[in-house]
Amino acid sequence: MKKRGIIISLAGIAMLVISFSIAISILQSSGMSGDEFSLSDVLKDAFDQVSDKTQIQPGETSFFSFDASEGTKTLLWGLQILDSEIGDGVLISISNIYGDDFGKFTSNQPVFFETLEITKADVYNFNVKNIDTRPVTVVMMFTKNPDDSNLAIDPNSPLGKSIFPLAASGTFFIVGIVTTLVGIILIIVDYRKNRSSNFV
């Protein structure tokens, strides 16, 4: 009986093990705990300001602020629900110290990002209301002028050191699955051919 299917299957399994090991190593080196994925921990130094982890009770509102000083043209801001579950939701409203309204956003996703055009230097308040029926823990992230950042193309950036290797590991994992399946199919085909030849 031909052994090509077995060899290919073993190669696929090896790819799966290697990709899984790489992913675990990257996640551990990023300082993440096993039960909490924190984007701000993975992308260290990617944000100009990151809030403390804040728990918000159902129906209550927490306030976060960012000082958009001179030179800030665009503000990338985001929110992550660290202990996200299906049904979680928050309402984010943006204002300045004078009470001007800069928009309201509702999100039921674990991670939510938006940009805000800055027309003048000001302190912007982000009021986050928990519209779910259980407490949620959130963290706010802010980056000034994201278009001017070389984060995405710098191989030494947090993005290059964490997200890109994870994506490569995921691709390697998919290739491993396909290779394993091809090997299994070849094993079945070779087995049937061998069985048929024995009856001839």
In angstroms, how far is CA 172 from the centroid of its own chain? 18
The 10s digit of each residue's pLDDT in 13-41 is 888 888 877 777 766 665 554 455 667 66
The CATH number that domain 47-148 falls under is: 2.60.120.380
Answer for the pair 27, 21: CB distance below 8 angstroms, yes or no. Answer: no
| Model pTM score | 0.59
Structural domain boundaries of the chain? Answer: 4-32+156-194, 47-148
Answer for the pair 63, 126: CB distance below 8 angstroms, yes or no. Answer: yes
* pLDDT given for residue 166 in this prediction: 66
The 10s digit of each residue's pLDDT in 77-120 is 989 988 888 888 999 999 988 878 889 999 888 888 888 888 88
Read out DSSP for 59-112?
T-EEEEEEEE-TT--EEEEEEEETT--TT--EEEEEEETT--EEEEEEE-SSEE
The 10s digit of each residue's pLDDT in 157-194 is 555 556 666 677 778 788 888 998 888 888 888 778 77
144 burial via Cβ count (<10 Å: 0-12, 13-18, 19+)? buried
